[in-house]
A and B are shown apart, each in its own frame.
Chain A
């Protein structure tokens, strides 16, 4: 989230789209009802289903699953053509005035530079026009035909209300009503907040859906404002933390990135990431990349990381491609993986196309599952009849299952979607012999290290030299680990302003990432988390919930990254002269000498408004990007592409380019996609408020609340198919079938799309062949093996099925 949960109460308009906060995040959703009750906010839900969020909305707009870019593109068009943008903000804080390089084009569904064979773009034309000084060119009048604003207008002029209604199935009047309400927040003293989750990410164009919302927010001047922003609600309790800590194939902690195999030169690796400002006077904070990177390597490899060996740069594995889960299971399916570890992850249920996954896992030599619960993944080799029809005798995989603790049995911190790191405490011992994850990892690692020490083997250096100075080596304490990722001084650090003064003494905890050095005198496991455990102690355990500003920032509660900042980009909540756009919701302001206020400024604290530094300090140009340059895989402007399994067989905008031309998809899977003549119904999977993924079916209370697998269909479809509420139905896609109870509801309505009636089939995901709830089918039996072009997140939200009475 750019903002945080409590901040939602400051909004004037709230849109839940691509998510269902009332069901998936009920306790955070309270800040929506709070905004309605005490800020007289208007609440809008846009969703294929009339969800529990919609049940308390002022306005509900239906749309066909997977068409959010068309909808939001229509909003962009509405705002531009009705002049409902916040001009001063757009001009000063977005790249609207920037001039785009001449080669950039968009024709008939494709941007310039497409390579059809590789399904990728050469993005060199998606760039700014630069001057001889190396800076990007701008046109303050916003009239240049190649300035971003003009290109934006041109791109979205196609998204008229009629086109939107035709693609999305949203009634035109409803769509326009939504636009009108959104448009009211272009006033500087009104804000809109977008709340989304996996309803946006789980599409082949998921990242671009989110980007479209971000663009709407930039045009309205709502980014950086209290009650504004683009808010990813996120799924798991620490999904934010694990992302921040970089537990992804191509990342290192703190959004540092692993080198590609072409980047064998350390200096080149740093230079590419330490971005120089694209406009004069900009901060371009990534210029500090080397400080973060060197401190990380010191944290991991200790004394072995030296300037001479480029801080062990060679020890980091180099990427030839991104090994996301879809790629990994594709390789596993091809028999190219021998071993796999699943730590608190149930991929047999959580990745699409169960049949493919199950076949892939049976090709593994060994599988290690670390989990508090008996997951389907650990039991993938067990026969459970129709629910998991495999022959154990034919599965040669060695499976080792290791019991881990759950939240209640360990100390530690979790990072919520508002970026708060909160510490928790152990309340009871684990059951049986279960161990904390850290102990299990330590146990495995130390054994492996012992083997390498004794036997030698392939490139043992990083394993032998990994810094492991924990008091009890086989049981690293959470407190030690937290202190490690916060960072400490490895030598006395001098104050840069007064070099004779020692700012931090050797061995002391650092106060924050501003103290990091690139000369090896600091160690820090995750620069973004620096400040979480300082010399003052554990900042994540702070419990002062006072809120003097009334905006809900509670800055002495726990610790928020970065630097305990609660609202990102909060410099943008003030006009260029440093005065808040809305004095009633003042986050920070220029007090004549520095920036101060109810939040930690997301800015250089002493940079006066006149200096012209832009509020988006992580960007080399200092402003928000309406034009994404080369940062997105499928284009600098979001474009509507149909789901890979589309119920209308075409893309009304450009029939030749139907689906995302750069999406993550493998050849065998493309051929297996269902067509609407065999699978006429648009299906979407989702969570229910009673359950959490595949855990709570192991929980008695949750299983009582929603005991048995079901699917939701409209009254109309039920009538067509002769299905009554409570009947058992069979739902199948080109990948397999499930059987479940039919819930027939008025909350799903057929939509008129491109001259055709489109029915939705809603498929909650929570059941499987393990658990104490009624045994059911894993819903990913149905879902397609295709992912977003940027995040590779699978398209769980839009695919095709057929249905009949079982």
Chain B
């Protein structure tokens, strides 16, 4: 294990603690939807920095393009034209990995070290360890990871862990023309978000607020929403995201219970054999057929 510029909080499918003595400051990316003009600079900067290129697609009757996240598009803008009591509002949300404090993808991942969470909060995929099962997709409450058709590995936003590791902001945050995306320590981002909420309230958005869902332990990508009471208006941002009960069951209790059950069967069999001995043909019957021997 070479570089450990970011210390490790969790590693997928790893039963022993990861090196986690050092604590780097917790970071966060704040997306202020009220400042976002939907220019897609973040989409471009993301592809450019990560050296991916999506296909040149088609227009589907909307401005969204690429229309969904892909293994090459780790972030996309989602445009929603919503009529509210203020008239028409064009709510444009940058979608991508939320970097949950309690990541469903990591929980679901069976490949050791394919998904790691650093102590700064970034949830990173290590494709060299990824086996391509797609369990992270099943586990993610925000429907973010995408499986590549080319290499059958799963890709998503890394929060530019390579840039953050050397003390830079993520490419999307750097490029954002209007400052709708900002980056810093999570404490600073929450403070900044609070200021933004105050500004929005002063402009008549009574329900403005911060989206930092606690169902996943809070996130390291947080939103400022004009209508925090109705996140679903923002192209179906989940109201109370969490690792669902099914995933909890599947990747939580089920694992040790089942392993114990299997072990119990083994032990039971062993005990049974030792105590009862083999089930052989009885002496009587053997005698009956002795002549046949």
Task: Please say whether the chains A and B touch (CB closer than 8 A).
Answer: yes
Q: B3 CB to closest chain A CB, in angstroms?
A: 29
Q: Which of B17-25, B57-65, B144-152 contacts A (4 or more CB under 8 A)?
A: B57-65
Q: Is the CB of B83 within 8 A of A746?
A: yes
Q: Is the CB of A26 within 8 A of B61?
A: no
Q: A785 CB to closest chain B CB, in angstroms?
A: 29
Assembled-state Cα–Cα distance A29/B61 (Å):
27
Q: B238 CB to closest chain A CB, in angstroms?
A: 23
Which residues of B (185-237) have their CB < 8 Å from a CB of A?
196, 199, 202-203
Q: Is the CB of B81 within 8 A of A704?
A: no
Residues of A contacting B: mostly: mixed
Assembled-state Cα–Cα distance A710/B61 (Å):
8
Which residues of A (145-161) have their CB < 8 Å from a CB of B?
none
CB within 8 A of A26: which of B41, B53, B55, B59?
Answer: B41
Q: Is the CB of A23 within 8 A of B39?
A: yes
A40 contacts across to B, CB distance below 8 A: 199, 202
A702 contacts across to B, CB distance below 8 A: 44
Which residues of A (37-58) have their CB < 8 Å from a CB of B?
37, 40, 50, 52-56, 58
Q: Number of A residues whose C-beta is below 8 Å from B?
A: 47
Q: Number of B residues whose C-beta is below 8 Å from A?
A: 40
B160 contacts across to A, CB distance below 8 A: none
Q: Does B36 contact A (CB under 8 A)?
A: yes
CB within 8 A of A30: which of B43, B58, B62, B179?
Answer: B179
Q: Given A23-B39, A689-B37, decide whether A704 and B179 contact each other with a Cβ distance below 8 A.
A: no
Q: Is the CB of A704 within 8 A of B37?
A: no
Q: Does A588 contact B (CB under 8 A)?
A: no
Q: Which of A77-85, A129-137, A422-430, A722-730 contacts B (4 or more CB under 8 A)?
A: A722-730
Q: Is the CB of A22 within 8 A of B39?
A: yes
Number of residue pairs spanning A and B whose beta carbons lie under 8 angstroms apart: 124
Q: Does B104 contact A (CB under 8 A)?
A: no
Q: What 0/1 pattern do residues 768 to 787 of A give for CB contact below 8 A with B?
A: 00001110000000000000
Q: Does A690 contact B (CB under 8 A)?
A: yes
CB within 8 A of A689: which of B40, B53, B57?
Answer: B40
Assembled-state Cα–Cα distance A58/B199 (Å):
12
Q: Given A50-B88, A50-B90, A746-B88, decide whether A56 and B37 contact each other with a Cβ distance below 8 A.
A: yes
Q: Does B48 contact A (CB under 8 A)?
A: yes
Assembled-state Cα–Cα distance A366/B43 (Å):
43
Q: Is the CB of B59 within 8 A of A709?
A: yes
B66 contacts across to A, CB distance below 8 A: 704
Q: Which of A120-128, A594-602, A648-656, A736-744 contacts B (4 or more CB under 8 A)?
A: A736-744
Q: Is the CB of B40 within 8 A of A705?
A: yes
Q: Is the CB of A29 within 8 A of B56?
A: no
Q: Is the CB of A772 within 8 A of B56?
A: yes
Query: What are 16 A-B contacts defined by CB distance under 8 Å?
Result: A30-B178, A33-B180, A37-B196, A52-B92, A55-B37, A55-B90, A689-B39, A703-B56, A704-B47, A706-B65, A707-B56, A725-B61, A726-B61, A743-B61, A743-B63, A746-B81
Q: Which residues of B are at the interface with A, using a C-beta cutoff of 8 A?
A: 34-41, 43-44, 47-48, 53-63, 65-66, 81, 83, 87-90, 92, 177-180, 196, 199, 202-203
Q: Which residues of A are at the interface with B, using a C-beta cutoff of 8 A?
A: 22-23, 26-27, 29-30, 32-34, 36-37, 40, 50, 52-56, 58, 60, 689-690, 700-710, 724-727, 741-747, 772-774
Beyond A52-B37, A56-B178, 17 additional contacts (C-beta under 8 Å) are: A22-B39, A30-B179, A33-B178, A34-B179, A40-B202, A704-B56, A704-B57, A706-B65, A707-B65, A725-B60, A725-B61, A726-B61, A741-B60, A743-B61, A743-B62, A745-B81, A772-B56
